[in-house]
Structure 1
């Protein structure tokens, strides 16, 4: 009976001469559900609680033992569920079983990918390192541009000075100068950013607070100290020496010694401090 539950129900019903229509009319169970019970098609029936109710009603109408039929149904259900579970477990085990060959190939692929990633990482680091070493920084570029500009300005100004040598007079006699040139024997002659410093200038700075008739010794040495607040270029002629061009970096200073005079041309007069024999020299505004 346990092997064919549906056939047992059908044989008991026919033995008692009860049709499916009679069962339907008395139990209100749809005929299709009654046929499914007799064919063991439990998957076409509703929830299990309804199936058990159908079996009880079926057994009651045909005069069979309700508990015996329910017990048989429960046994069949458990056996079928256990069989399905075993089949599913076996299927899963087969599905997740890897062959040694597959594992070997997978290992080779993983190693290859790891090596590729490592090699690419090394190449990228080397590339960026070389690029960083070869590309100058912004500060270096700006510094080079500033230096080139200053050197260009020096060249242009030197050419102008060489073309007009009369602007560098080295005698202490009073001479007339063009608007671009400076008088040597004046106290301080300024044209734009040019200045002429002589012994008379030094004496005037030294004796501003003293009697005006104090004379200075012609053999007195002229000490000129230049301090800068920023990068500044200079052209300077000391006595009869040729014009010297140079750049003082921010915060630095330079000292010159002469006997007669200095002719000084600067790039930015607001960024320099000048002292002559210890006295500060200011550019007239």
Structure 2
């Protein structure tokens, strides 16, 4: 781990300690238990205790920690967005200073402009003359073609007539799929859960959905679903078999189409170690 990574870890630990004290103080003032808030936020109680105790070793990636802080604070009546912003996720990189050099301005005089206009007009006239001469040579006047009288020709034996109930090939109808997107994910919630949707690398939705709600996500390349209560989110990928994203109460990140390894397996193994 490099020096910069160690610095961000220390900053995260200090920030989470202050945030945890605020959460504990507010929760005790409002006479809530950790279990009460676990039911209210749909976040496992062990994760809420880890937030209060500022135990980073028992918590997932920083982006999930920031989301848990926001939900926990909102459930206590605090400003969740402001409190979550106090927890750093990535190190601050200072952009290099820009040095501006003053360059002498190019000054155009009227004489220069008049000369440029004259050259432009002469060039346009010559170009138009060349185009007109080429068009006159390429398209000579053609004599009128003789008029042909249509005749009724007999149908040969090897030719098949098209009946009224047999549409021609040119009239065949081509079925077009309802969606031109190659990736489609249908989601149905059987229990309330915090969810986040990322479509082709862009955040499409983040919030809490209730049981019975449905959502259809389409993408050109990839759809990523992050759920705080994976057992309550049922997913169907491209019309396949409907499956839950994970165990009830677990945090899962699943990508469609599935990737070999990646964040989904990392999140699953993390939950398995701490359940």
Question: TM-score scaled to structure 2, two decimals?
Answer: 0.25
Which structure's residues are more often helix, by fraction? 1
Question: TM-score scaled to structure 1, two decimals?
Answer: 0.25
